[in-house]
Structures are given as structure tokens and as C-alpha cells.
Structure 1
Amino acid sequence: MKRTVIAAAVSALLLSGCAAQGGETTATAPGAAPSAASSAPSTVPPVPAGAEALLAAYGLDGRSTVEIIDHLDRLGGIRRPADLRASVRPDELVLSGRGQEFSLPIPDDRFYLSVAPYTDRTHECFHHSLTTCTGELAARDVQVTITDEATGEALVDETRTTFANGFTGFWLPRGIDATLTVTYGGKTGETKIYTGQDAPTCLTTLQLA
């Protein structure tokens, strides 16, 4: 099955994640609690030794990797820690700040995809940055469906309010092909997604038209 994933500018974005705030560009191409798809993972990887001090410095101690991702993605504006970088990879969360860097493992049966639908402005992204990425449609109610192509099961079918950063995140089963559809203000966008090891965790190319 052909997998449609966002691969533009991969080499430039693998380390930096999304563009920083204020780094949006004009698009030229035409075109909150976790959902039911994010049921509790079968295993919760432990926090690596030595990471506790860094997590505590940002008020993240005592949280699992899933909880840290959910928390940071919902922050916006001045609430975002200015000196913390948090990049979501398919199998880990890379945190860096105060001269330290740690990788926190993501449960091996879950994949986090953060989606920023747009109408006019977007930016390139591959690995979602929880502390710098911004999307056009912040705090908007959008209707979202995510359908597993192999089984036809609707993994998500609900109205979401986008976070303060313009994204909304989904914990999905790992290793699936699916169809994502978003509707807002009478406009709709649809795209194929994939949740494998080489897939992006950030989707910013879904234009609503």
C-alpha cells in the first residue's frame, strides 16, 4: 500500500522538529483528554536514570512519557518553557535543556501524531516539537475521523478543540495505515497517515478547503 507521509525537508528537520514560533510560511499548494484511540498502553517504560533532575526543573517529574507529551503539547504562549526542547520521535521523546539531553521511551504499542490543520498558513515539520511548533488554527473546534484502512475501524470520530499551539494530538496503534479527515468551518481535508518507525510525528500539510 502506498504510504503518503510528509517527507519534505526531512534532512533539515530531523533534529530541530518544527519551525520556532513566528516561523510560519504562506502555503502555496492547493488544496483535552486523549481519544478512544489512546487506550492505556500495555507497558509503561521507566524514566531513565539521571533524567529526574531535568524533569523536576520543568515540573515534569512523576509523569510518564505519555503524560509529559500530553502536557507539553497543550501548553501555549508564555506557558511554554523557553529553554526546553522536546522532540517527539516514533519511539522516544528527546528532551534537552540546561545543558542536558535525555531520551524517554514511548510505549512500543503506541504512536503519537500531532496534527495542525490549516486554511492559509503552515510550516514544514517532521518530528513534532512540543515547545516550538505552532499552527494556524488555535483553540478551534474541529471534527476528526481516523479510520484504520486494514480493518475499517474508526479509531477516532469526535470533535476536538485544538490546543493553544494550533495542534491536536492522537495516540494511535503503532504500525498501521489510516485515513485522517478533518472538518472545520465547512471546509474539509483528508490525507493518508502511517504510524511506522519511519513515519512523521508532526502533520502540518493538511489543508482544509
Structure 2
Amino acid sequence: MIQTRTTPAAKLWRTISIVALTLVLAGCGTAESGSGPGSDQVSTEEFLSEHGLDRMAVTDRPNDLMASVYPDELVLAGEAQEVTIDLPEEKAYVSIAPYVDTTHDCFYYSLTTCRGELGNEELDVKITDSATGELVVDDRVTAFDNGFAGFWVPSDIEGTIDITHEGKSGSVDFSTGEDGATCITGLRLA
């Protein structure tokens, strides 16, 4: 008989497992199956938001679970187990926590422990590919409860992130190469 656990860690593990499966499946699409911009990947983003992986309230996040995003994989670690899931090859996940007064050093985004200053605040975000000049993100978003806003962008690009919030703005360079950061915390709004 299978017993269902209802602890916050169990709920988060269940959500992460579903999201991980979705990320794996999203990475298997072909152009014919609609894996281009605005199709399967948008569904993955909507799925992440709908199931609350990033949007989980900070107070509900378990201390005994780590979920970290690296350039090419999502790593989930519990007390006695670690699971690694490959991310889609042509996409990278970049999580950004702009700040006004305080920040912290961060390189690989932790879905369970990273915290930024501007939780639940509206941000105007533009992400530009420096090589092509293409605007890959141009959106008004609400930062997650933990102060971060996450975006799927093309992999292997260098570019600029520009954010505006309540009349203040800032900019920072980024890279989604294999040595690129998935956690951007150096964007100061002034």
C-alpha cells in the first residue's frame, strides 16, 4: 500500500518531479512539434508558474530540500537522494533578483534558498542578445515571493539584462554559455 505524505517537503518534491518531467519532455520537441519560441517552451513556463515551483511562498519552502539550476541541468537533493535532470539543449533558465539596497553573491540559482529584496514587486524586464541585437525578453512581470524573476532564454548567448522598477533602472551583462550564471543578483536599480 502506498502512503501519501503531506509535509511541505513532500509537496515540493511532487511538484519538482512533475516540473522535471515537463522540462525533460519540453527538451525532446522538434520544430514540427512546435518547440519554437512561443509554443512548448511557453507551456513549460506556464506550467512552472501554475504549479508554483518558483512562486511558492518563502515561508512554505522546506529546509531539507535543495533544488538548484545549473546551465544544463536541474539538481534536486534531499536528505539521502540526489536527482539530476537535463534541461532543454537550446534554452537556458536565468533567474534575476534586482536590488535597490541589499543583495547577495549567487552563481547557480537555488529554488529553495535564494532570496532577493523585491519580492512580489512589478518589474519591466528587457533581455537582449548582444551578438544579434535581438530582444529575447520584453515583459512586465511580478517577481516571485523570493524576490527573483525567472526566464527561459536561448542558450549560448551573451547579452544585457535591463530592469526598471518604480522609476529606478539598472543593467547587467550575462551569459548563458556552459560557464554562465543562472542566478543574477548584481543588477542594482538606481
> Normalised by the shorter chain, which TM-score bucket?
0.7 to 0.9
TM-score by length of 2: 0.76
1:62 and 2:18 matched: yes
Match of 2:165 in 1: 184
Letter in 2 for 1:175: D
Q: What pairs up with 1:1-209 in 2 under 5 angstroms?
A: 58-60=13-15, 61-63=17-19, 64=21, 66=23, 71-209=52-190
State the SS of the aligned residue for 2:53.
helix
1:94 and 1:69 map into 2 onto residues whose CA distance is 16
Following superposition, the deviation at residue 80 of structure 1 comes to 1.4
| Alpha carbons 1:72, 1:131 under 8 Å: kept | no
Distance 1:153 1:57, change over 3 A: closer
Distance 1:77 1:178, change over 3 A: same
State the SS of the aligned residue for 2:109.
coil
Q: Give the number of the structure whose residues are more often helix, by fraction.
A: 2
1:103 and 1:121 map into 2 onto residues whose CA distance is 32
1:81 and 1:116 map into 2 onto residues whose CA distance is 21
2:11 and 2:146 map into 1 onto residues whose CA distance is 23
Letter in 2 for 1:59: R
Distance 1:59 1:161, change over 3 A: same
- State, as a whole percentage, how many aligned pairs show the same letter: 47
Following superposition, the deviation at residue 164 of structure 1 comes to 0.3
TM-score by length of 1: 0.69
Instruction: Tell which has more relative contact order, 1 or 2 (C-alpha 8 A, sep 6+).
Output: 1
User: Which shows bigger deviation, 92-101 or 69-78?
Assistant: 69-78
Letter in 2 for 1:62: I
| Alpha carbons 1:65, 1:105 under 8 Å: kept | no
Q: Number of residue pairs matched?
A: 156
| Alpha carbons 2:98, 2:186 under 8 Å: kept | yes
Letter in 2 for 1:58: W
Unpaired runs of 5+ in structure 1?
1-53
Which runs of 4 or more aligned residues in structure 1 lie more than 3 Å from their structure 2 counterparts after TM superposition? 54-57, 65-71
User: Which shows bigger deviation, 64-73 or 80-89?
Assistant: 64-73
Letter in 2 for 1:100: Q
Distance 1:69 1:81, change over 3 A: farther
| Alpha carbons 1:125, 1:203 under 8 Å: kept | yes
